[in-house]
A and B are shown apart, each in its own frame.
Chain A
């Protein structure tokens, strides 16, 4: 099974900051990586697929990059609505697996 590891686990930042979250796979997953955003008490929201393609309606301040085993999610200028927990997910092979999550907090 493919293990997904995110770093950091918690990130404190301010509105307007540029932040980057890293996701590493235990083996190559090509570009079969997705990102999700989850706010407290809510279902996750689909943000990015194919490592770098934005889902329709997702603000352009979100971007993804990477391939193989190392991936990043970048938010170019944090907005108040962006404080949430972010998860990566590999879909290269069954069983699909998620990272443990990165909680983005207000500094």
Chain B
């Protein structure tokens, strides 16, 4: 059974750094893309970017390029999304997603709520 298990909710202050995780199981982690999708409170879905853990090929949405970093550690089948400097506007649920082709998202993690508030 394919599973994506994300790290727990975070409460941070503006200016702090953060790294959230997503552990994949039940499939070949290195042969599928992992992506990240943001959902701000009461809003729709936004694609941040994808990574192919097999060779670390990474694609970002221009809206998020430079704002976040996507990485993966294939030795532990885990992908990461990190911020160096959080802003209040980063408050959202972040979903990790699996993608066989890198384009559609067939499995979703349970979501990680990130709250940034002073």
Contacts from A to B (Cβ < 8 Å): 1, 32, 34, 36, 38, 43-46, 49, 55, 87, 89, 91, 94-101
Contacts and interface: CB of A to CB of B under 8 A. Distances in A.
B28 interface: no
A55 B61 CA distance: 26
Nearest to A100: B44
A95 B111 contact: no
Given A43-B95, A44-B95, A91-B104, A98 B47 contact: yes
Q: What are the nearest 10 A-B pairs in CB distance?
A: A91-B103, A95-B61, A43-B108, A96-B47, A98-B45, A34-B104, A101-B44, A46-B106, A49-B104, A100-B44
A87 B46 CA distance: 11
B100 to A, nearest CB: 10
Interface of B: 37, 44-47, 59-63, 95, 103-111
Q: Tell me what chain A mostly uses at the interface: helix, strand, loop, or mixed.
A: loop
B110 A43 contact: yes
Contacts of B45: 36, 38, 44, 87, 89, 98, 101
Given A43-B95, A96-B47, A55 B106 contact: yes
Q: Tell me what chain B mostly uses at the interface: helix, strand, loop, or mixed.
A: loop
Nearest to B103: A91
A97 B46 CA distance: 7
Given A34-B104, A44-B108, A95 B47 contact: yes
B65 to A, nearest CB: 9
A55 B110 CA distance: 20
A99 B103 contact: no
Contacts of A49: 104
A32 B107 CA distance: 18
A46 B47 CA distance: 15
A57 to B, nearest CB: 11
Contacts of B111: 43
